[in-house]
Amino acid sequence: MSEECVRVAVRIRPLLPKEVLRHHQVCVRVVPSTAQVMLGSDRLFCFDHAFGPTASQDQVYESCVQPLVESLLDGYNATVFCYGQTGSGKTYTLGGGNQDEEGGIIDRVAQDVFLLLGKKTLNSDGVEATVRASYMELYKEDLRDLLEPHTIHKELHIRDDERGNTGKTVMHM
């Protein structure tokens, strides 16, 4: 893995059945054996990773995220976020989730965090670990606690943290 602080991966999802039925065409493809994508026939873009429509959830996780989980347990901070227009595959890549889909990044991170913590605590006497997780949705101006989906009306507010403008914190999570 490169030493860059910020790395960008692009994932091209397959056409959906409804898109195939409507004869939509694929307009972007990965240049084989590179991290480049070609838009149309002559516009080339470079990324740190490029995944085509046949890439598995495993491949995306192993190349882009797993190394971050390992460094997390060495004390580093890590952020992974998905960006893209509606329907481009952010939820699928992060969550997967439908019964017939493979699990996404969140499932795999959770599994690996506990697996690696298990190994660490086994190998080092007296080491204890606490894992805290929050899962929220910010849609327009509304925040939802996705670990308590029934509390739609729960009063959640974004505030500056005690250090001022450098971070944000959500009250009442």
Ligand X SMILES: Nc1ncnc2c1ncn2[C@@H]1O[C@H](COP(=O)(O)OP(=O)(O)OP(=O)(O)O)[C@@H](O)[C@H]1O
Binding residues for ATP, as ranges, are 84-91
**Residue 146 contacts ligand X per CB under 6 A:** no
What is the spatial distance between Cα 154 and Cα 144, in angstroms, rounded to a whole number? 8
Nearest CA among 59, 60, 77 for reference residue 68: 77
Query: Chain centroid to CA 40: how far?
Result: 27
Kindly state the number of chain residues that form the binding site for ligand X, as judged by CB under 6 A.
11
CA distances from 66 to 15, 46, 109, 127 (A): 27, 22, 7, 22
Contact with ligand X (CB under 6 A) among 8, 49, 88, 136: 88
**Residue 49 contacts ligand X per CB under 6 A:** no
Interface stretch with ligand X, choices 37-45, 63-71, 89-97, 132-140 (CB under 6 A) = 89-97
Q: In degrees, to the nearest 5, what angle opens at C-alpha 84 toward C-alphas 153 and 97?
A: 60
What is the spatial distance between Cα 105 and Cα 62, in angstroms, rounded to a whole number? 10
Paired tokens of 64: 């882009």
Interface stretch with ligand X, choices 34-42, 81-89, 106-114, 157-165 (CB under 6 A) = 81-89
Residue facing ligand X at closest CB distance: 89
Contact with ligand X (CB under 6 A) among 27, 78, 87, 119: 87
Q: Tell me whether residue 57 or residue 116 sits nearer to ligand X (CB atom).
A: 57
**Residue 61 contacts ligand X per CB under 6 A:** no
Residues 10-29 that bind ligand X (CB under 6 A): 13-14, 16
Q: Tell me whether residue 27 or residue 171 sits nearer to ligand X (CB atom).
A: 27
Interface stretch with ligand X, choices 30-38, 83-91, 126-134, 138-146 (CB under 6 A) = 83-91
Number of Cβ atoms within 10 Å of the Cβ of 47:
16
Binding site for ligand X (CB under 6 A): 13-14, 16, 84, 86-92
